[in-house]
Amino acid sequence: MNKIMTTIAALALTTASMAASRQPAIKLINRLAAIQKQGVMIGHQDDPMYGCSWKWEENRSDVKEVCGDYPAVMGFDLGDLELGKDKNLDGVPFDRMRKEIIKQHERGGIITLSWHTNNPATGKNAWDFEGDAVSKILPGGKLNKKFNSWLTMATNFINSLKTADGQKVPVIFRPWHEMSGGWFWWGEGRCTAEQYKKLYRYTYNYMMRLGCSNIVWAYSPNLADQTETVEHYEKYYPGDDVVDLIGIDIYQREPNNAQYQGWLRSELDVVKKVGENRKKLIALTETGYNNVPDPTWFTETLLPVLKEYPICYVLLWRNAWDNPTENYIAAPGKPSEQDFKKFYADPKTLFVKDINLVNIK
Ligand code: BMA
């Protein structure tokens, strides 16, 4: 009897302490699941930092200037944080990023972080895939110590995301994204699938040991060259115990809406199936159509597909201040402006005012 009691007590303790160590993340996971039943949240990368015709001003947002509300999800990128810089690779100051993350949380919105990490082996950027970096940064490799210091910097930033009363702000973190393409040093052909999984799990364990209780962990490959399959999609999947949300990154590159919709459906069919099998939330973790030249793209190309899948959010990429060919969401004066208002008015699309009462406390 005593032995059984002790075992039960020990088990309860393990569960409780594990839950306690992830409490802000678990709260967000539950909230995402509740919101998903109401519609799909619309997200935008770097939304309050800059837009098509402005940069660094406060309280601005191209989305808000078109439809009167902030996006439900805001994305930010940590690239260059690991070099000790005070601005990221796109010129966004990290102090400002922290401030906007907290503001977005306080208005009831959601945050996702990506990390275009520099190549630790060559010192060049994330798109430099030379140098066999992954094998060098894993334990036993000669760059492991350096990599640990990079992980510590990312951890410190994420741990510093707190409201004035000391509550940690939960974030969806998407490390080592688009690994099924070969363009990043952690991607296809730059390491084996086994090495990639080790890298992801190592990152998870390292950051969790340092107390990142506020991370919802995301796995986000990119569009496959062929029709997507479960086997291909899961090639780099690091394990159910280290992933909370799965997604896919897909862009439209040409004026061929039907082709893009076909890609979305081929991928989202698989993401949905894997999500059901593994009991994970699903999302369209990045998308967009450069400059959105089609004036009805949001309501006639993107929206019909969003309506077919139980995805909790879609993240449209940035309206780059530093590159006029890279803008992905509506802005005042752009051809898609009127259509984006219709997209906003559709009951399926959720912006911050639609979600700020769902389970925030
Ligand atoms: C990429 C592009 C780059 C940018 C990077 C990180 O997809 O938008 O211009 O530097 O994301 O935001």
> Domain locations in the chain?
3-355
Q: What is the DSSP string of 246-293?
A: EEEEEEE-SS-HHHHHHHHHHHHHHHHHHHHHHT-EEEEEEEEETT--
CA of 77 to the centre of ligand 1 (A): 9
245 pLDDT band (50/70/90 cuts)?
A: very high
pLDDT tens-digit profile of 193-208? 999 999 999 999 999 9
Can you name the residues that pair with 314 across neighbouring β-strands? 42, 284
Query: CA-CA distances (angstroms) from residue 112 to 10, 90, 170, 171, 218?
Result: 35, 16, 9, 5, 9
For residue 116, report the distance from its CA to the centre of ligand 1, in Å. 8
CA distance 333 to 218: 34
For residues 207 and 154, is the Cβ–Cβ distance under 8 A?
yes
pLDDT digits (tens, 9 = 90+) for 247-290: 999 999 999 999 999 999 999 999 999 999 999 999 999 999 99
- Nearest Cα to Cα of residue 149 among 174, 122, 120, 171: 120
- Residues 137-165: pLDDT tens digits? 999 999 999 999 999 999 999 999 999 99
pLDDT of residue 198: 98
Could you tell me the pLDDT band of residue 2, with boundaries at 50, 70 and 90? very low
Burial 50-75 (b: 16+ CB within 10 A, else e): bbbeebeeeeebbbbbbbebbbbbbb
CATH class of 3-355: alpha beta
pLDDT tops 80 at residue 6: no
Average pLDDT over the chain reads 94
Q: How far is the CA of 320 from the centre of ligand 1 (A)?
A: 8
Quickly state the pLDDT bin for 210 (edges 50, 70, 90). Answer: very high
**Ligand 1 atom having least distance to the Cα of 90:** 10
* Class of residue 347 by CB neighbours under 10 A (exposed 0-12, middle 13-18, buried 19+): exposed
Q: What is the pLDDT of residue 40?
A: 98
Ligand 1 geometric centre to CA of 112 (Å): 15
By alpha-carbon position, which residue is closest to atom 10 of ligand 1? 90
Half-sphere exposure of 286 (CA within 13 A, CB side): 24
358 confidence band (pLDDT: 50, 70, 90): low
CA 323 to ligand 1: nearest atom: 9
Confidence of residue 229 (pLDDT cuts 50, 70, 90): very high
Q: Which two tokens stand for residue 150?
A: 């990079």
- In ligand 1, the atom with minimum distance to the C-alpha of 318 is 8
Please state, in angstroms and as integers, the Cα–Cα distance from residue 119 to each residue in 133, 184, 190, 338, following that order: 7, 9, 12, 41
Pocket residues for ligand 1 (CB within 6 Å)?
77, 79, 89-90, 116, 317-318, 323, 326
In whole angstroms, what is the distance from residue 98 CA to residue 81 CA?
A: 12
Distance between CA atoms of residues 100 and 2, nearest Å: 53
Residue to mutate (ligand 1; options 289, 325, 326; most atoms within 8 A of CB):
326
- Angle at CA 232, nearest 5°, toward 214 and 273? 65
Q: Is the pLDDT assigned to residue 41 strictly greater than 80? A: yes
Band of residue 357 on the pLDDT scale cut at 50, 70, 90: confident
**Residue 245, helix vs strand vs coil:** strand
In the reported structure, the alpha carbon of residue 81 is separated from the centroid of ligand 1 by a whole-number distance in angstroms of 15
